[in-house]
Amino acid sequence: MEQLVIRGQRRLKGEVAVSGAKNAVVAIIPAAITAKGVSIIENLPCIEDVAGLVSTLNSLGAVCDFLDERTLRIDSTKVDRWEATGDAVRRMRASYYLMGALLGRFRQAVVATPGGCNFGSRPINLHLKGFSAMGAEVIEENGGDIIRLKADKLHGANIFLDTASVGATINLMIAASTAEGTTVIENAAKEPHIVDTANFLNMLGAKIRGAGTDVIRIQGVEELSSAEYMIIPDQIEAGTYMIAAAICGGDVTVRNVIPKHMDSLSAKLEEMGCKIIEGDDYIEVISDGNLKAVNVKTMTYPGFPTDLQPQMSALLSKAHGTSTLTENVWENRFQYVNQLRRLGCDISIDGRVATIKGVDCLVGNEVNATDLRAGAALVIAGLAAKGETRIGNVKYIDRGYEKIEYKLRAIGADIERVRVQR
Ligand code: EPU
């Protein structure tokens, strides 16, 4: 078993570069199999989910080769299977994108229902309702464990999403790219990775307009072909390092970011008393560690991202005064709070609202990541805590953060990965 061991209270200073966006790459790799051609995908993050998707694509008949650590060549010309039910599929949330991709390519798909972080019920009813509106028959087998989709004819449809779901927006966009006729998705989600996936599909020959707004129009084309594409920087990884700089105090430049994607966080950090300097592709965070309490509400983009909510809880724990943090996206994304309390955080939960009282000092302890962003929150609290913090279940953190200990060490943190016997 591995642990991250942090000796906290070091000031952070220097530069850290952000990797390619996890939530874009996990959509773009499956989307590549919609095309009969070769996709070259650059700026890949080195994270667990990429490995899982590559092995799944290979099992479907694609030929995937890493041209280097960050460049993946996917030849999907000979993909000839549409059943994806293996372990890798079950472990990953994003494997639901195989449904849209296989349905678009073969008019049929058999996909195991996805796993991923657990923060309450994570339905995919909006994905399935959309496929059904496009003419697919949706059969849930083994008590919903496997989804079988079949369409004699996949056609365009007008789809209004009850909730602006990121996954449903992307999945329907992928399937609609090769459906007959035009699909209109209303109340679409607007996250940066939706725009990134649309750009990739357009490079393959799709005709998608409006991604990044709440109405997306997709004019189906007969076939998609080949593309070379570079993944955008990871908004959440960037935000995590910005929050680390804010809590520790110091001067950190986060490179390879799209500053616009960070607006909601930058605004909150400024409100808390940090200085934020933006360049074309970097953000510098200057903090004296003297932070004001603020109120935060998570929302779909361009609102404050739910995927930075746990990290923000850690930060607000060191602010002067009482803050509130309202989770509007997931029904139960405060499960990690017990672990933060073990480091001295004073957080109480009432439904979707966390009330966070700033404390003078966080204190190191042994804790466990309960999911990916929860793990990131523990790292942030550990960086600010007095003494040693040991974080278990590092595998969750590795699902979304490339070499987190190397990147943090480069800006002055005292953090290492150790093997422990259990
Ligand atoms: N929802 C439904 N029905 C659906 C789909 C979603 O009711 O069919 C509800 C969900 O229950 C939730 C809300 O809609 O309350 C938003 O869910 P969404 O579909 O947008 O989430 P997702 O696509 O499953 C992606 C990210 C998550 C991120 C959310 C919200 C990926 C692979 N995952 O999930 O990322 O929290 O969007 O921005 O892109 C993470 O990176 O740590 C992570 C969990």
Cα 145 to ligand 1 centre (Å): 19
Cα 166 to ligand 1 centre (Å): 6
- Tell me the pLDDT tens digit for each residue of 215-244: 999 999 999 999 999 999 999 999 999 999
Domain boundaries, the chain: 2-19+233-419, 22-230
| Residue 248 appears among annotated catalytic residues | no
Nearest ligand 1 atom to the CA of 300 is 38
Pocket test for ligand 1, best of 98, 128, 163, 328 (most atoms within 8 A of CB): 163
- pLDDT tops 70 at residue 118: no
Tell me the C-alpha distance between 44 and 50, whole Å: 8
Transcribe 207-240 into DSSP letters: EEE-BTBSEEEEE--S----EEEEPPB-HHHHHH
Give the per-residue pLDDT at 115.
67
Cα 218 to ligand 1 centre (Å): 22
- pLDDT tops 80 at residue 55: yes
Please give the class, per CATH, of domain 22-230. Answer: alpha beta
CATH number of 2-19+233-419: 3.65.10.10
Cα 74 to ligand 1 centre (Å): 26
pTM of the predicted model as reported, rounded to 2 decimal places: 0.97
- Tell me the pLDDT tens digit for each residue of 256-269: 999 999 999 999 99
Give the per-residue pLDDT at 143.
83
Indicate if 22-230 has the same CATH topology as 2-19+233-419: yes
- Tell me the pLDDT tens digit for each residue of 358-388: 999 999 999 999 999 999 999 999 999 999 9
Around ligand 1, the residues with Cβ closer than 6 Å are 23, 26, 93-94, 117, 122-127, 163, 165-168, 189, 306-307, 329-330, 372-373, 400
- pLDDT tops 70 at residue 167: yes
Give the per-residue pLDDT at 120.
67
Nearest ligand 1 atom to the CA of 127 is 8
Structure letter (DSSP) for residue 66? E
Transcribe 355-418 into DSSP letters: EEE--S--B--EEE--SHHHHHHHHHHHHHSBSEEEEE-HHHHHTT-TTHHHHHHHTT-EEEEE
Nearest ligand 1 atom to the CA of 94 is 32
Give the per-residue pLDDT at 92.
86
Average pLDDT, the chain: 96
Mean predicted confidence (pLDDT) in 99-112: 97
Catalytic residue, from 64, 117, 248, 274: name it.
117
Pocket test for ligand 1, best of 19, 122, 165 (most atoms within 8 A of CB): 165
